[in-house]
Amino acid sequence: MSRRAEAALKRLRAIGLGLPGVTEKEAWNTTTFRLADKKMFAMFANDHHGSGQVAVWLKAALGAQELLVESDPARFFVPPYVGPGGWVGVDLGAGVDWDEVADLMGEALALVAPQPRAKTTSAKSPRPGAGRAPSARGPRPLTTKASRPRSRARPS
């Protein structure tokens, strides 16, 4: 590994392992960063397939990859393999903004972190359909087998 790559990986480790719950794991002959040793959110790329580039590939929010690559294609790129899934590559060459890398790693981690569940305000379970906006035709009646009218033959 080149000195430049070693220095970049050292900085990347300091950022990644400084985030809560993050572990480092070797996979595909490179360093990856994961939440609780499970969900990967970042991968170090050193001269991947002879590219000559030292970079980090990060999970990105929907639409972020396109915005970043369009805003600065010299720093951001669509990485192979994970790029079609929305991940973004960040070149860690000369002039890298490590504060920006730290922010992007934090955002990537947040994307794999479990989301808190909404708490209910009452002990009762809400009725089916509660909380939904009514349709333009008005609320739909609850139709279960028990609430459907029975057709009975009437004596004539």
**Domains in the chain: boundaries:** 3-112
- pLDDT tens digit sequence for 57-74: 999 999 999 999 999 999
Q: Is the pLDDT of residue 44 over 90?
A: yes
In what helix (H) or strand (E) does residue 65 lie, and over which residues does it extend? helix 64-71
Query: Other C-beta atoms within 10 Å of 86: how many?
Result: 17
CA dihedral 70, 71, 73, 79 (to 10 degrees): -60
CATH, range 3-112: 3.90.1150.30
Does pTM top 0.85 for this prediction? no
Q: Are the C-beta atoms of 53 and 28 separated by less than 8 Å?
A: no
Write the CA distances from 141 to 35, 43, 128, 144, 150, integer angstroms: 45, 51, 11, 9, 16
